[in-house]
Chains A and B, each alone.
Chain A
Amino acid sequence: MVRRLLWALPPVVLLVLFFLYPLLLVVQQSLQPDTGDTSLQPYADVFASGAFREALWTTVWLAPAATAGCLVLGFFLALVIAFVPFRGARAVAKFIDVFLSFPSFLITLALLFIYGTVGMANGMWTDVTGAAEGPFQFLTTPWGVLLAEITYFTPFVMRPLLAAFSHLDTAQLEAASSLGARAPRIVRQVILPEALPALAADGSLVLVLCLNEFGIVLFTGAKGVTTLPMLVYGKAILESDYPGACVVAVVNVVISVGLYGLYRVVSRRAGA
């Protein structure tokens, strides 16, 4: 037993040195700036600022909204690929795999070309109607971030769902259908219960990834959309306000880790 624990020691030491100790330093910096005593003053300052409250609110509504969108969209798309297969469905599944290996900011970059102020959609609109500017101005608002997050994270839901669907015995579907159940009912009573553990696990992962997403928000370049990770970056790198950045970082970690832990406990209880 002691020998086995000793074997586990080297990787744990590395993790502590490169991850836990740095995190502890962030917490320490947030309570005790280089000059001065331990106080909650930095927290009071940050909580009082409008920028922080706005970033907190944006983060907290954007992430669940994007997660919900990903779950609905991912469930539907995976359902079609698995159970209403068409020629090329396999290629689509492969494409999803490839999509997962690309960084998130590519989506925002593409959206800039599609919906940007001089992009495709607005260009077409002005060409057709002769108007001075197009109707698509949502890219620099939270809705643009929402669209990008749903696009990027839906494949994260689809892949495990497709794996779960491939374990599902199609005889169950045939039986249900021969007993007269229609498609919506089969989905609700046969497929959905089977997919629920995968949906719960993916939902929690995507929620955390959305809470922590930085590249998408950075690339929109919008001053109007600030999330907590963006605020950490802004405070630390742009303003060189390290104590402030550490405070926001601590809040962000508490929210993300708290939600992630909660979901892991809940999904374990649910039998996932």
Chain B
Amino acid sequence: MSKTHVSATVNGDPVEFLAAPGMTLLDALREELNLTGSKEGCGSGDCGACSVILDGRLVCSCLVLAAEVEGRRVETIEGLAHGSELHPLQQKFLEHAALQCGVCTPGLLVAAKALLDSNPDPTESETRYWLAGNLCRCTGYDKVIRAVMDAAAELRQVRAA
């Protein structure tokens, strides 16, 4: 069976690639588009390390076929920073030491961005539930939650200014 030609938008840029039969969006990002920020943890939608935003919805890219994103808009961790300027979430993750080994970090950042896109002022409880699909075996989550809450507060200030 031949490969499927796919045209999509990734982090605002038009991209084209050939999707092998059964190829996931995660594999296409990493292997066809050299966007290796999204990680494969479990490959079964349980860990969230491959989180991306597809047409405005947070999804696990390991559970999306690459061929499905024809004409769709994909946002990955690579789109978060503006050049060398970190996104407030990334900055707060550094300040709060919200990462250790870093494998879960891209997924957590993308998931947190999706949360703040839809809810700029989440409660801690809402944040914990929202991020329940992102597993981290290092931090114990508290630092992650503090970083997200702090970034949310900063983003609200920036918007209000």
Pairing of A with B: no
